[in-house]
Amino acid sequence: MIDNALFTDFYELTMAQGYWKNNMNHQVVFDMFFRKNPFNGGFSVLAGNETLMDVITNFHFEEDDIKYLAEQKIFEQGFLDYLKDFHFTGDLYTMDEGTVIFPQEPLVRIHANLIEAQILEGLILNHVNFQSLIATKTARIWLASKKAPIMEFGLRRAQGPDGAMSATRAAYIGGAAGTSNTLAGKEYGIPVMGTMAHAWIMSHSSELEAFREYAKIYPQNSVFLIDTYDTLKSGIKNAIIVGGELVEKGYNFGVRLDSGDIDYLTREVRKELDRAGFPQAKISVSNELTEEIISTLVARGAPINSWGVGTHMVTGGDESSFTGVYKLAARNDKETGKMVPAMKFSDNPAKTTNPGIKNVYRLYDSNGMACADVLALENEVIEAGKEYRFHHPMVDYRQFTCTASKVEPLLKLKLKDGKRVSTRLPEAEQLRLSRSNMQKQLETFDESYKRILNPHIYKVSLSEELKDLKKDFIEKNINR
């Protein structure tokens, strides 16, 4: 885990020096949010904010970092002296890791002086964007499999060592049952899993010998890879021979397919296993699987018990980034000494931000199902049992009324004056909590929002007061 303060974009430091030089280190509020769900999906999953807080609480410049910056011949000595004692002293609000999230919602809210808030930008986006992308991808895969066991084994295809570790962590939050990444197993307490490689089989004089030797060493964990030579003519037949020997000794066994027509082959393999009297033998598959492929196989009733997913899970597949951004939402006014809203304008309405210090409220109906999320200003209170009118964030005439049976505020204070407000859980315990949070939350959303293809769009709306504030900002900008 990198907690060195040089892990930021260089222009953050040049801007920070400008703020320092011009005595502009006033209090500000920044929001980190994202603009669209990846994979044309109906939801996303928040991940990475727990590791982000670990890094922020240790964020500092080493002596040789200051020396390096001095060598760039762009920073004044006074600013470098300021950086020597730099650490985050502000407050951080965020949702619980594993929360189901939607576009435009503040996921992380920073209250700090301008220099601190600016230097943290790259760090916040790096941690939350990548892990949320992978957690979302994994959740889609897990749902596509009808919540069957998913093994993540993307280490060899991930974007470098840290990419592999972060991806494994996020994939577990998103629903993966285990990983092939042994170091991640040790560091994060994630179950480690694995069977055998084609090389094991090819290293023996025969496939039958390879299976027997493996079963001799690992009788309790024998899953035979049956497609090294010929799945139906030799692989499954040799697996049944050795599997039968294991069953006689009181053990069970399984088989794995890593190539070919998975739909056809798994059906034929299932028939062979059942004919041989081994209906309890499990079938696992891998080979460049995506949620679309898995969903199709499940819909067709392919007899698959578990799935191994690597490349598309840990890289994001066709969508390689999460659209998270970090924008100023409020600042201290020099003349009044009060916090005033700030707003970014754009010719593209989707890039016009929502001003002010905000929270996010999730509204539930009488059946306990989530029906809408509402962005409201900090001083507003959204209560259960009261009727409210809420507004589309970009289209003035779109609005709806709602009386929620339950209202849940999602942003919570996690860091106060740069320190955690509660004790950091051990990583393994935190990951189990984050994973459980994701699974429980998905149960509160209608299936239409979780469809792999053409999901229903979940309502994310503005409160009346926030809508009026945003409209006022826009009208004043137009009339300039």
**Spatial CA neighbour of 251 closest among 276, 279, 220:** 220
- Span 140-169, mean pLDDT? 94
Q: Which residue has the tokens 């996020």?
A: 170
- What is the torsion angle, in degrees rounded to the nearest 10, for the CA atoms of residue 362, residue 365, residue 322 and residue 320? 160
Res 466: pLDDT: 95
Q: Band of the pLDDT at 393, cuts 50, 70, 90?
A: confident
> Is the pLDDT score of 251 beyond 90?
yes
Q: Is the dihedral of CA 134, 135, 137, 138 positive or negative?
A: positive
pLDDT digits (tens, 9 = 90+) for 317-371: 989 899 999 999 999 998 898 999 999 887 777 788 999 999 999 999 999 999 9
The CA distances from residue 296 to 37, 54, 262, 289, 453, in Å, are: 22, 40, 11, 11, 11
SS3 358: strand
CB neighbours (10 Å) of residue 328? 19
Res 352: pLDDT: 87
pLDDT digits (tens, 9 = 90+) for 274-304: 999 999 999 999 999 999 999 999 999 999 9
- Span 208-212, mean pLDDT? 98
DSSP codes of every residue in 181-207: -HHHHHHH-PPB-----HHHHHTSSSH
**Spatial CA neighbour of 320 closest among 474, 110, 167:** 167
**Beta partners for residue 324, in sequence order:** 34
pTM of the entire predicted model = 0.95
Res 398: pLDDT: 83
Whether residue 278 contacts residue 270, with contact meaning beta carbons closer than 8 Å, is answered with no
- Span 432-459, mean pLDDT? 97
> Is the pLDDT score of 208 beyond 60?
yes
Angle at which helix 121-144 crosses helix 427-443, to 10 degrees, equals: 60
- Span 457-467, mean pLDDT? 95
Query: What average pLDDT is seen over the chain?
Result: 95
> Is the pLDDT score of 73 beyond 90?
yes
Res 479: pLDDT: 59
- Span 112-139, mean pLDDT? 97
Res 191: pLDDT: 96
* Candidate from 245-254, 333-342, 406-415, 424-433 with smallest mean pLDDT: 333-342
What is the rounded CA–CA span in Å between residue 331 and residue 318?
A: 38
Angle at which helix 49-56 crosses helix 121-144, to 10 degrees, equals: 160
**Beta partners for residue 358, in sequence order:** 377
Report the percent of the chain where pLDDT is more than 90: 89
Residue 261 CB partners (closer than 8 Å, separation 6+):
none
> Is the pLDDT score of 39 beyond 60?
yes
What is the rounded CA–CA span in Å between residue 152 and residue 145?
A: 14
**Spatial CA neighbour of 33 closest among 453, 355, 456:** 355
pLDDT digits (tens, 9 = 90+) for 2-38: 778 899 999 999 999 999 999 999 999 999 999 999 9
> Is the pLDDT score of 480 beyond 60?
no
- Span 62-90, mean pLDDT? 96
Res 346: pLDDT: 78
What is the rounded CA–CA span in Å between residue 189 and residue 429?
A: 8
Largest CA distance in the chain: 85
**Enclosing H/E stretch for 419:** strand 419-420
Residue ranges in 85-197 assigned as alpha helix (H): 114-119, 121-144, 160-173, 182-188
Res 394: pLDDT: 78
Q: Is the dihedral of CA 168, 220, 201, 294 positive or negative?
A: negative
What is the rounded CA–CA span in Å between residue 180 and residue 191?
A: 9
